[in-house]
Structure 1
Amino acid sequence: MKYTITYPTEIGTLRLLSDEESLLALWFDDGKAPFDWKEAKQEVNYVLKCTIQWLDVYFSEQNPDFLPPLYLQGTAFQKQVWQALLEIPYGQTWTYGDISRKIFGSTKGSHAIGQAVGKNPISLIVPCHRVIGKKGLTGYAGGVYRKKWLLEKEKN
């Protein structure tokens, strides 16, 4: 069984999708859904309650010191990149090259890193918004204006 709810924020409504054990996806509701959620039950379960707690802390301008249970569905490489995203400290940014160096030992994998970052199904919690290009802000599934807002919020 899958469960879904929405979570309103200052920069748009988030949609959360879980099963009984883990958060499967989190995205801005006006964007492209990473999973089909239309058949999901509109109900708060334990996983969604934990995710709401995380979001409440995050949007109160604090760094959550816990993660809700996550299930990152993707290739082994995508999962490796998403794990690296979880290591980016709150209030900081890494470039695609930084992540490439961490995984490959050089920046030659930056394009592949960018593709994997773009497939991240759990926005915010797996902080793809903290990844920038070597020349500054780059795309974000939720929109560059949201990425800029999130990064500014984390710096303050």
Structure 2
Amino acid sequence: MAVETVVCTAIDSFVGKVLIAEDEKGLRVVRFMEGDKSCKPDSGWRFDKHLKSEAVRQLVSYFKGELREFDLPLSLDGTPFQETVWKALLKIPFGETVSYGEIARRIGRPRAVRAVGGANGKNNIPIVVPCHRIIGCSGRLTGFGSGLPIKEALLEHEWKVSRKTGARAWK
């Protein structure tokens, strides 16, 4: 069995430190620092504070408001259903939101709204696989593994960069 190589680094952003991890297939993890926990790599990962990968470049550009769409190889690791949901998330345009129910309809599983929420919760590559763009059917911000304040900050960032006017789609 081959040993998997995962290299990671941390970058600063308007939501705090963000850990970026990559393996031989592509971007594997984007993780936000939460509370007092430091942004540490998982056991066995190699930390490189000088990592200058394309994923790092694109994420830094996103946080600066210079990038709206990612073009990166991804190392998705989920069930077939989860990966179907994540691929549907990739089609949500920058600065826009859709409901969990809409994603369920788009993947041909209109009754799987809760399962879509569960798949969002298992997404290890937030921002790039934009689970933050999913809102409740009422327009309320719901469910985000790193907390609703980070989700709201990401949506506000995209709203401002998109120069949208009028009422926001979320409450």
> TM-score scaled to structure 1, two decimals?
0.88
Instruction: Give the distance between the partners of 1:4 and 1:125, measured in 2 at CA.
Output: 16
Q: Which residue is equivalent to 2:122? A: 119
Does the CA-based 8 Å contact 1:17-1:37 persist in structure 2?
no
Q: Residues 33-53 of structure 1: CA distance to partner in whole angstroms, max 9, x if unpaired?
A: xxx72321112698x611111
Question: Structure 1 or 2: larger helix share?
Answer: 1
What does residue range 17-96 of structure 1 map to in structure 2 within 5 Å?
17-30=21-34, 37-43=42-48, 49-96=53-100
> What are the ranges of 5 or more consecutive residues in structure 1 without an aligned counterpart?
none
Q: Which residue is equivalent to 2:155? A: 151
Return 54-63 or 111-120, whichever deviates more.
54-63
Q: Which residue is equivalent to 1:103? A: 107
Q: Residues 108-132 of structure 1: CA distance to partner in whole angstroms, max 9, x if unpaired?
A: 1101110011100101110000000
Does the CA-based 8 Å contact 1:129-1:140 persist in structure 2?
yes
Q: Which residue is equivalent to 2:164? A: none
Does the CA-based 8 Å contact 2:26-2:75 persist in structure 1?
yes
Distance 1:91 1:64, change over 3 A: closer
Instruction: Give the distance between the partners of 2:141 and 2:86, measured in 1 at CA.
Output: 19
Instruction: Give the distance between the partners of 1:142 and 1:66, measured in 2 at CA.
Output: 21
> TM-score scaled to structure 2, two decimals?
0.81
Distance 1:145 1:71, change over 3 A: same
Q: Offset of 1:80 from its aligned partner?
A: 0.2
Cα RMSD (Å) of the superposition?
Answer: 2.0
Identical residues among aligned pairs (%):
36
Higher relative contact order, chain-length normalized (CA < 8 Å, sep 6+) = 1
> Larger C-alpha radius of gyration, 1 or 2?
2
Distance 1:134 1:16, change over 3 A: same
How many pairs are equivalent? 151
Instruction: Give the distance between the partners of 2:109 and 2:80, measured in 1 at CA.
Output: 18
